[in-house]
A = this chain, B = another copy of it.
Amino acid sequence: MQDLAFLPRLIEALGPDVVATEPDQVAPWLADWRGLYRGNAQAVVRPRSVDEVARCLALCQQAAVPVVPRGGNTGLCGGAAPDSSPANVVLSMDRMNAIRSIDTIANTLIAEAGCILGNLRRAAQEAHRLLPLSLAAEDSCQIGGNLATNAGGVNVVRYGMTRELVLGVEAVLPNGEIFHGLRALRKDNTGYDLKQLLIGSEGTLGVITAAALRLFPRTDARSVVLAAVASPLQALELFELLFAQCGARLQAFEFFTGDCVDLVLKHAEGVQEPFSQRYPAYVLVELADTTDEAALNVLLERVIGEALERELCLDAAVSASLSQLQSLWKLREEISEAQRADGPHLKHDVSLPIEQIPAFMVSMEARLKAISPSIRPFIFGHFGDGNLHYNLSRPAGAQRDWTAQHGKALTAEVLDEVARYGGSISAEHGIGQLKRDDFLRLKDPLELRMMRGIKQLLDPAGIMNPGKLL
């Protein structure tokens, strides 16, 4: 039953500047950016402070109104789009976008949830420090959303996921209480680490309003090689060699198939064929260091020389300038956009025990081709973390509604195969709406029960982001 006094109370508490209710004001906040999900909402709330977030949540809980927290809306699983209930309130963090502090002695950056990741990266850079979280959507996504989904990206192999970069969190719990966990201490062993529950919870336990993040020394010395490999097995052997010999300098180890290069050369501008022939697959390796680019180049050339000699790769192109480095990276960075330009496709963000990737690639392809012989897999990802974006494009000549017709069954095939290898059905994109059924089907029943217990404990009224994750 709808509480008719709720909206007037909310507007009175926060003001008409913060609460928008007109249909044309609300409409832009109802869908995810890919257009896969569209829902309803009675209002969009855009608070300017943690206190306004707290007042909003307290009123929503009292009236049992569902709350959908929203960051930059760059998620791939529909986690920030409201469901069909007309009672929803979308809570956008975009106005809470202040950097509260940058400390180059403690090496911490404290930012409000609505800060754009790219802006934080540049602010750290100007302070001669590195915020290593880096991903394709960095100039649109917000740091609060990065925490809520425990975002990954290209530098995880060296610096870890978002979780590993977080020292403290400020958040508002569903009852409007403020969780003052914005400590920037490197070490604090005083009880359960509660912020870990909020990180990766996809807005289902509360609203993250600010984060204390770790900064690192700038790694301005960079050296990149594109290595051609015959197979995922060869990529794996190359990874083992680089990991042991380059240590902490190994900043990225990205994999993509020759088919991905075809796609990029067809759809993207300003990219070049990297070698005189097409190879089955490629690995893009970046080493980075605080100092001495010449030494870094020498190291990379020596290790790649050894790899060529030991037949751990087929060919290699080392960057001799910044522009070469950037054009090698472009081959990898343009894959998603090229695939979008190519037409409808299914995305699968999965991870595997890294040594299982070669076997998985063989059995997965066989399984899919048995169902759909001309299906076109485009496989790329953060190989060094065991993370593949195992994407499937519709076969040539298939109908436009191919994803609607076959998507669910093909996705189930992929995720079941991943589970069979002990992998994860979501490496870095989360669950949201997209993977919820598969998550509930495949997750260990005890873990599901524990998660539901925690959800019930922190959000007894069940107002936080309904229909997502759990």
Binding site for B on A (CB under 8 A): 103-107, 128, 149-150, 152, 156, 160-161, 163-164, 173, 177-181, 183-194, 196-197, 199-201, 205, 216-219, 236, 239-240, 243-249, 289-291, 295, 299, 351-355, 382, 385-387, 422-431, 439, 443-444, 446-448, 450-451, 453-454, 457-458, 469-470
Contacts and interface: CB of A to CB of B under 8 A. Distances in A.
The 9 closest A-B pairs by CB, nearest first: A247-B290, A196-B196, A248-B248, A188-B424, A187-B427, A186-B385, A217-B247, A105-B355, A187-B351
At the interface, is chain A mostly helix, strand, loop or mixed? loop
Q: Which of A104, A184, A450 has the most CB of B within 10 A?
A: A450
Contact of A188 (B104, B249, B351): B351
Contacts of A194: 447, 450-451
A39 to B, nearest CB: 22
A430 B188 CA distance: 8
A187 B424 contact: yes
Nearest to A355: B105
Contacts of A354: 105-106, 186
A412 B388 CA distance: 52
Contacts of A245: 217, 290-291
Given A247-B219, A469-B191, A185 B105 contact: no
B193 A189 contact: no
Given A192-B197, A247-B289, A447 B181 contact: yes
A128 B247 CA distance: 12
B451 A192 contact: yes
A75 to B, nearest CB: 11
Contacts of A448: 191
Contacts of A104: 240
Given A160-B164, A187-B386, A450-B194, A290 B428 contact: no
A387 B187 CA distance: 7
A190 B439 contact: yes
Contact of A199 (B150, B193, B447, B458): B193
Nearest to A177: B446
26 contacts: A105-B239, A106-B354, A128-B244, A149-B189, A156-B187, A161-B189, A183-B424, A184-B353, A185-B351, A186-B354, A186-B386, A187-B387, A187-B424, A187-B428, A189-B200, A189-B428, A190-B424, A190-B425, A191-B443, A192-B451, A196-B196, A216-B247, A219-B247, A245-B291, A246-B290, A453-B457
A180 B446 CA distance: 9
B191 A431 contact: yes
Nearest to A454: B192
Given A152-B187, A156-B187, A291-B299, A217 B192 contact: no
Contacts of A447: 179, 181, 191, 194
Given A184-B353, A192-B205, A247-B289, 13 more contacts: A177-B446, A179-B447, A185-B422, A186-B385, A186-B386, A187-B351, A188-B424, A190-B425, A190-B431, A190-B443, A192-B201, A217-B247, A244-B290
